[in-house]
Amino acid sequence: MSLAVPVGVDGVRADRFVADATGMSRAHVQRLIREGRLTRGAHAIRANVPVFAGDALELDIPDVRPLEVEAESIPLVVVYQDDDVMIVDKPAGLVTHPAPGHAAGTLVNALLALGGPETFGGIAGIARPGIVHRLDRDTSGLLMVARNDRAQASLMAQLKARRVKKTYLALVAGEPPATVGRIEAPIGRDPRHRTRMAVVPDGRPAVTAYRVRERFGTWTLLEVDLITGRTHQVRVHLASIGHPVAGDVVYATGAARRGPDGLARLFLHAWRLELEAPSGGRMIHATAPLPLDLEDVLDRLRGGSPERGGARGAAGRTVPGA
């Protein structure tokens, strides 16, 4: 893969530039660099070497090797599918891809039960077939999966260019005074708690927009547009303005951390996706209704009895693993 460093990029670390330019995770790019697969002028360069406008880089992406991750029969709700893209409705509690401490029982394990690694795009690494973005373990909702390398490159490019519209539903503590709001605050590692993210001066630019959907006095249901895609962005941004997501055990405290009666997990759901089909200019629109456990919480806040069934049937079809 040829990567030309554009005008205006001077002194950026090679690993960061390549990760931003390709949409690959920085950790995966660093692994490729350690293997000597990033060159400038036919010479391998290190991850921390700065690159400058006009540099011509070559990234050698190896062929997909047999996966050590095993297929598992985990049912998936497929909301949309064509030759390039599959959109699934990930349940809360399911990790997106294998990682330390989660070698099995992930969405990737479920995908492999639908076909081998060749069934999905491989440019994000052998442990992430088809993966172009992720949802936190406790977040439910829509997640795109690429079914070939070309589609994976297209979706990564769309995400980088902010052409994919991702809208979440979030129940937050308190009452935001404005019906419509926009949060622009850089996000990076929390200097006091390195496993958490925070709004920090030297963080990466991050933008979140929100609209009030329904008010319940001490709680408010928001539609949240993720303009950028930083780790834990929705949770960090909403907590930073004093309205943390209900049930967030990391970024909320007190009553917000517990959430309203009946809530047993984070009230955050990836509700809607809009993207351009990798083959042709048509738009793909997908939605996933709130899971029943979250709808039940809203029913209690409205003062009504939980109503089960109905809306869930429109979410898609459940595909069991092979």
Domain ranges of the chain: 2-59, 66-322
Q: What is the pLDDT of residue 308?
A: 41
Is CATH 1.10.760.10 the classification given to domain 66-322?
A: no
Sign of CA dihedral 113, 116, 120, 125: positive
User: Which one is catalytic: 15, 136, 248, 296?
Assistant: 136
CA 194 to centroid of chain Cα atoms? 20
Record: fold of 2-59: 3.10.290
The pTM of the whole model exceeds 0.85: no
pLDDT reported for residue 314: 40
Residue 237: CA atoms inside 13 Å, Cβ hemisphere, count?
27
d(C-alpha 76, C-alpha 151), whole Å: 21
Is 136 catalytic? The answer is yes
Q: Given this model, what pLDDT does residue 26 score? A: 78
**How does pLDDT run along the chain (322 residues), one tens digit per residue?**
888 988 877 888 999 888 878 767 777 889 899 999 999 998 999 999 999 989 999 999 876 555 567 778 888 899 999 999 999 999 999 988 877 666 688 888 888 888 766 788 877 766 678 889 989 889 999 999 999 999 999 999 999 899 999 999 999 999 999 999 999 999 999 988 878 999 999 999 999 999 999 999 999 999 999 999 999 999 999 999 999 999 999 999 999 999 999 999 999 999 999 999 999 879 999 999 999 999 999 999 999 644 443 334 344 655 544 3
